[in-house]
Structure 1
Amino acid sequence: MKNKRFLILLLPLLAACSEFIEPSIGSREIGLLAPANRLETNSYQQTFWWNPMADALYYRLQVVSPRFDSVSKVLLDTLINKDKFVYTLDPGKYEWRVRGENGSSASAYAQRSLVIYPSSLSDQELQLSLPSNGLSVSKPQVRYEWLKLFGATTYRLQVDRNNFLDEKSMDLNITTENLVFLQTLSAEGNYQFRVRAENATQNSKWSTIRTLTYDATGPERPVLSTPLNRQLVSRPVRLVWNKVADADKYELWVYKSDGDTPYNSSYPKILTATELSFDAGDPGEVVAWRVRAFDKAGNVGAYSELRTFTIQ
């Protein structure tokens, strides 16, 4: 009888522990989708693609030349959390493989081979690295990066605010032998950029057009809604403020009655919502609070007014 009671008490503990036990993926293998095994192609840019694996937190992709049993060059050995990775290679013979990994185990590798033949530069598309598409920045300095493209001697970078409709009035239209270029943007706004590879006789296809936003202006000051200043309220207290047009997140401060000492170690709180339920405090206690907004570029706006309320 005692053993049965002990088991009944132990079962909830075992169930709780099982939620924290990470499943082993050591006996599994990734299902590769592309490129096809033993593919022979003249396309330098390849999309490595595989089936997602349950319980894998990320994937290790390795690409070598010419073979894993006779490596002369390691092109990639990277961890990613998606099931697809795009990379530009030179002509040559390659082997590539992928495995799933989590915090305590790794699956078996799945492996394929690939041959890339030299081709016309005009058949190729250049691959951008930085900045990421849609990036917002608060500083005017921008670093552009792209991958080397076989057969290129120079690279043309174009930056514009009018979708490249007039090459004579673009913000930037330069050539460089490097794979990196630093630019100081002239004004706040939305920009488009693209890069292509060039040599004496040919140009590659333009890269995919990416956008970035230069925003050095902080968001507007939030306006507090409820509770009213110095209002007597019951717990829980809904702290509500208006939505700021260009805000990406909000920083909420709750203070002791002096309006300066954080109420506890959980403040300030970073929120995307425009309200919070405050359920603390003793009857008669005075609590102060205020909010400020941050935009996507990281600019911070002015604080709202400082309000107080009293717990009844």
Structure 2
Amino acid sequence: MVLLAPTNNLETSNYQLTFWWEMQQDALGYRLQVVSTDFSNIQKLILDTLVKKDKFTYTLDPGKYQWRVRAENGSSQTSYTTQSFIVHPSSLTNNVIQLTSPTNNFFTSSPDVKLEWLNLFGATQYRVQLDNQNFIDENNLVLNVTTTNLSFLKTLSKEGNYQFRVRGESTTENSKWSVVRNFSYDATPPVQVKLTAPLNNKTVAKPVQLTWNSITDAEKYELIVYQSDLTTLYSTSYPMLLTTNTYTFNAGDSNEVIGWKVRAIDKAGNKGSFSDLFSFTIQ
């Protein structure tokens, strides 16, 4: 493994560091471990995580650390490569809060949203701001509170798009604001799907192209296909999730009756009502 940053024996006053390494051709993931002070004298395990990409960002307290990475796939792994670094105490004003949850552009159907972030050394409290107007007017925010915790649970009263940010505060100074993350609260299910082909009770030849109208806010569709009694699932393949508004059905025997219906699911996980139940007969 080739480690790129932080470089070996780096000394920094930045609490937030991005660990970066060169990717391996056959690797499925990378095992990243961070300890204080070093792996021969572990005082505290800071990180032990499997990363899919070549970078991982984390916020640390001042101290001496070692970090190491190995590449892994399903059956083997490389040896670890290890480097050391030191984080020196610094002013809050030079540092920034790292948000952990929710992820950027997250969609939820629940009004209860838990905002979370990592500890920032030197902060005695955290200012949490939530808005739906991109913080244009700081005197008229959805939420503007302080807490000593590393999370805050907010119950939203309106659907829509929201932005949140956090900064650390002490009695004498404030950290930089975190990056702004966006999320959406959507509790409204998509409209009912309308099946378009084949028409109900038609006799058709295989393969049968099942189609339905496209729903604007649908991320995917749930298709259910039934046997001739119109209640028993045709096979264990159903229900089936699809990202398009069409599906090719190529099973069934001549004169067999097939039933089917579809509903839309949006990004927040809201499920619309099922379409009417249609049936067709295999020619």
Aligned partner of 1:98 in structure 2 is: 69
Aligned mates of 2:118, 2:219 — CA distance in 1: 32
Match of 1:60 among 10, 31, 37: 31
Counterpart secondary structure, 2:190: coil
Matched, 1:50 2:21: yes
Aligned mates of 2:60, 2:268 — CA distance in 1: 33
Kindly provide the amino acid, as one letter, of the partner of residue 227 in structure 2: K
Matched, 1:162 2:133: yes
Aligned partner of 1:289 in structure 2 is: 260
Counterpart secondary structure, 1:167: coil
Question: Which structure 1 segments of 5+ residues have no match?
Answer: 1-29
Aligned mates of 2:227, 2:74 — CA distance in 1: 42
Q: Give runs of aligned pairs for residues 242-261 of structure 1, distance below 5 A.
A: 242-261=213-232
Match of 1:81 among 24, 49, 52: 52
Q: Which has the higher helix share?
A: 1
Matched, 1:177 2:148: yes
Kindly provide the amino acid, as one letter, of the partner of residue 106 in structure 1: Q
Aligned partner of 2:43 in structure 1 is: 72
Aligned partner of 1:233 in structure 2 is: 204
Q: Highest CA radius of gyration, 1 or 2?
A: 1
Kindly provide the amino acid, as one letter, of the partner of residue 163 in structure 1: N
State the 1:304 CA deviation: 0.8
Aligned partner of 2:112 in structure 1 is: 141
Note the alpha carbon deviations across 1:93-132, whole angstroms, 9 max, x for none.
1110000112221111111111111111001011001111
Aligned mates of 1:67, 1:281 — CA distance in 2: 64
Counterpart secondary structure, 1:169: coil
Counterpart secondary structure, 2:184: strand
Matched, 1:107 2:58: no
Question: Which structure 2 segments of 5+ residues have no match?
Answer: none
Counterpart secondary structure, 1:168: coil
Query: Structure 1 length normalisation: TM-score?
Result: 0.89
Match of 2:90 among 119, 128, 143: 119
Note the alpha carbon deviations across 1:242-271, whole angstroms, 9 max, x for none.
111111111101111222111112111111
Kindly provide the amino acid, as one letter, of the partner of residue 280 in structure 1: A
The RMSD of aligned alpha carbons is: 0.9
Kindly provide the amino acid, as one letter, of the partner of residue 154 in structure 1: Q
Counterpart secondary structure, 2:139: helix
Query: Structure 2 length normalisation: TM-score?
Result: 0.98
Kindly provide the amino acid, as one letter, of the partner of residue 247 in structure 1: A
Note the alpha carbon deviations across 1:8-61, whole angstroms, 9 max, x for none.
xxxxxxxxxxxxxxxxxxxxxx11111111111111100001111122111111
Aligned mates of 1:63, 1:251 — CA distance in 2: 43
Counterpart secondary structure, 1:305: coil
What percent identity do the matched residue pairs reach? 57
How many residue pairs end up in the alignment? Answer: 283
Query: Which aligned segments of 4 or more residues in structure 1 are displaced greater than 4 angstroms?
Result: none
Aligned mates of 2:97, 2:112 — CA distance in 1: 23
Aligned partner of 1:20 in structure 2 is: none
Aligned mates of 2:239, 2:47 — CA distance in 1: 41
Q: Which has the higher strand share?
A: 2
Aligned mates of 2:117, 2:254 — CA distance in 1: 61
Matched, 1:150 2:125: no
Aligned mates of 2:184, 2:134 — CA distance in 1: 14
